[in-house]
A and B are shown apart, each in its own frame.
Chain A
Amino acid sequence: MNQVFAFDNISGILTCQAGCVLENLSHYLEERDFIMPLDLGAKGSCHIGGNVSTNAGGLRLLRYGSLRGTVLGLEVVLADGRVLNCLATLRKDNTGYDLKQLFIGSEGTLGVITAVSILCPRKPKAVNVAFLGCSSFQQLLETFQCCRGMLGEILSAFEFLDASCMNLLEKHLKLTNPITECPFYIVIETAGSNATHDEEKLHQFLEEVMTSSLVTDGTVATEATKIKALWSLRERVTEALTHEGYTYKYDISLPVEKIYDLVQDMRRHLGGMAKNVVGYGHVGDGNLHLNITSPSKDFALLAAIEPYVYEWTSQWKGSISAEHGLGLKKRNYIYYSKPSEAVALMGSIKAMLDPKGILNPYKTLPDNIN
């Protein structure tokens, strides 16, 4: 089930089977001067059907939006075997309820996605990456505001990692820090249709943040090999963490100003129980990847982390799962981010679409739902 059905290079709409690997779709599109609207570390193995089922976020969300906007149609097999053909290739269609939104992000609990039609953006002619260092999270946030203002429409990614992440990258993967040591690092990517225009904007932005001391150091890359090297500093943090033993991973959405407070609070709260408490992620989208490590799985540490981290998130009206979904492990914590009436309605929809409970049982919805 890995065939591309069609690609229209005027509208940019791609229709394909759910089993297509994301990276293969990217290559297919790049040959035709387009790109997929999403990009993530697992691109070499993940299927587009899975991406849609989990409403995957990734590195390009800041620029192209979520799958809820870019997916135009789906073909879904329902629990009773009926094939729901909502595989439209229309940008605008307000005829009735938008059923596909039920299945996007439903983690396979309402139906099995078998085909996808998705809107793809043009491949940018010019991509630049800047790697910057800030001395405080506050300055990082101000840099983000400056970035939004001066780079505007060409901004395609704004990611961060902290000094602890950089130490792990250097220690385990022997990657070099391209700039001086700073408490926070930012990866900024711009993508546009005109290299000269983009470079001018980027250089003006960089001059501004350097002279105003929002940024203490940084470097820029325009060549593909250097761009890959700078991105790997953000993309390989997960890999570096695996070398530290057991990792407790949390994917949280919070108001942007509060993101790093959670990391610092966890450090205070856990004290010496945890070996590492690191923060990195899609700061531009308000999404923190909080990772904690210990040499081996420690139930006492786990008890100290959960439900403290969920309560903390709930207090600031954040999401306990920004992009990773609930699945098996977080399904019972749904109430930290959703009111009980909402969860009850989800249960009704599940009962209607899958009365026998055969689709991905024990996932997504909490155990105590009737």
Chain B
Amino acid sequence: MSARVLVGVKRVIDYAVKIRVKPDHTGVVTDGVKHSMNPFCEIAVEEAVKLKEKKLIKEVVAVSCGPQQVQETIRTALAMGADRGIHVEVSGKDYETLGPLQVSKILAALAKKEEASLIILGKQAIDDDCNQTGQMTAALLDWPQGTFASELAFEADKLKVVREIDGGLETIKIKLPAVVTADLRLNTPRYATLPNIMKAKKKKIAMVKPADLGVDVSSRLEVLKVDEPPTRQAGVKVETVEDLVGKLKEAGRV
């Protein structure tokens, strides 16, 4: 198969970090905070590399949108086995307002340019929890989508996707070219081993601007305010059942 797979990887605040809201409530503190690849994007990269190892696809291209630092994230994908990277340069205010709609337009443009036949993305990013990019990309390209994938297999000329849904598991078959979004149980991402980390340094990362792809990244959304969730109120311990009833009555609950 001469298929080329595009994998989107997003640089997000590491999931173990304690998030703090900026004093001006315009967003969260990102300066000096540990960042890493979105866990669902790692699963997407792992799946793409696995497909390549099974010789079902030919090339894995890792894509990330953002400032200079996203190159670290692309390098991690390269160390896991991606063949080359594309860094779509977006910085400053544009980066702050970059969201699923703009990213899906970029991915759609790249998919056409690179003649990709499969796009694998993480189901959602752990910073915005949007869960929209995969779906929007498929719609823009008018490609079928297999979202929340927990299993992926090639069957003849179709892709069999087992999806995690509320009621359980749903199995669908979609034609290529297609968009797949990875869910938690799709695979366990490998550790990037040293020989691969060394090799990754020599792999190419091409730089491109959204304008080069004919994409306008201006946002139609404006963030008004960012707040921390309300602090959990301390509970009150009571000695007797009478006390409990009394307190409930006081609070107007009974």
Binding site for B on A (CB under 8 A): 125, 131-132, 176, 178-180, 206-207, 210, 215, 217-226, 228
In the complex, A153→B165 CA distance in Å? Answer: 51
Main secondary structure of the interface of A (DSSP, over half): mixed
> Which residues of B sit under 8 angstroms from A228, Cβ to Cβ?
16
Q: Are B17 and A215 in contact (CB under 8 A)?
A: no
Interface size class of B (residues with CB under 8 A): 10 to 19
Q: Are A219 and B34 in contact (CB under 8 A)?
A: no
Is the C-beta of B198 less than 8 angstroms from some C-beta in chain A?
A: yes
29 contacts between A and B (CB under 8 A): A131-B191, A179-B193, A206-B194, A206-B197, A206-B198, A207-B198, A210-B194, A210-B198, A215-B194, A217-B193, A217-B194, A217-B195, A218-B193, A218-B194, A219-B192, A219-B194, A220-B194, A223-B14, A223-B16, A223-B34, A223-B36, A224-B16, A224-B17, A224-B34, A225-B15, A225-B36, A226-B36, A226-B191, A228-B16
A206-B194, A210-B198, A228-B16 known; 15 new pairs, CB 8 Å cut-off, are: A132-B194, A178-B191, A180-B193, A210-B194, A217-B193, A217-B194, A218-B194, A219-B191, A219-B192, A219-B197, A220-B192, A224-B15, A224-B17, A225-B15, A226-B191
> Which residues of A sit under 8 angstroms from B17, Cβ to Cβ?
224
Contact of B191 among A125, A179, A206, A207 (CB under 8 A): A179
Closest A residue by C-beta to B39? A225
Q: Are A210 and B15 in contact (CB under 8 A)?
A: no
> Which residues of A sit under 8 angstroms from B194, Cβ to Cβ?
132, 206, 210, 215, 217-220
Closest B residue by C-beta to A178? B191
Closest B residue by C-beta to A126? B34
Closest B residue by C-beta to A206? B194
> Which residues of A sit under 8 angstroms from B34, Cβ to Cβ?
222-224
**Which positions 163-196 of chain B face chain A at CB distance < 8 Å?**
188, 191-195
> Which residues of A sit under 8 angstroms from B195, Cβ to Cβ?
210, 217
- Report A112 CB to chain B, min CB distance, Å: 33
In the complex, A131→B194 CA distance in Å? Answer: 10
> Which residues of A sit under 8 angstroms from B36, Cβ to Cβ?
222-223, 225-226
Q: Mark B72-110, 1 if CB is under 8 A from A, else 0.
A: 000000000000000000000000000000000000000
> Which residues of A sit under 8 angstroms from B192, Cβ to Cβ?
219-220
In the complex, A154→B75 CA distance in Å? Answer: 24
> Which residues of A sit under 8 angstroms from B198, Cβ to Cβ?
206-207, 210
Q: Mark B43-69, 1 if CB is under 8 A from A, else 0.
A: 000000000000000000000000000
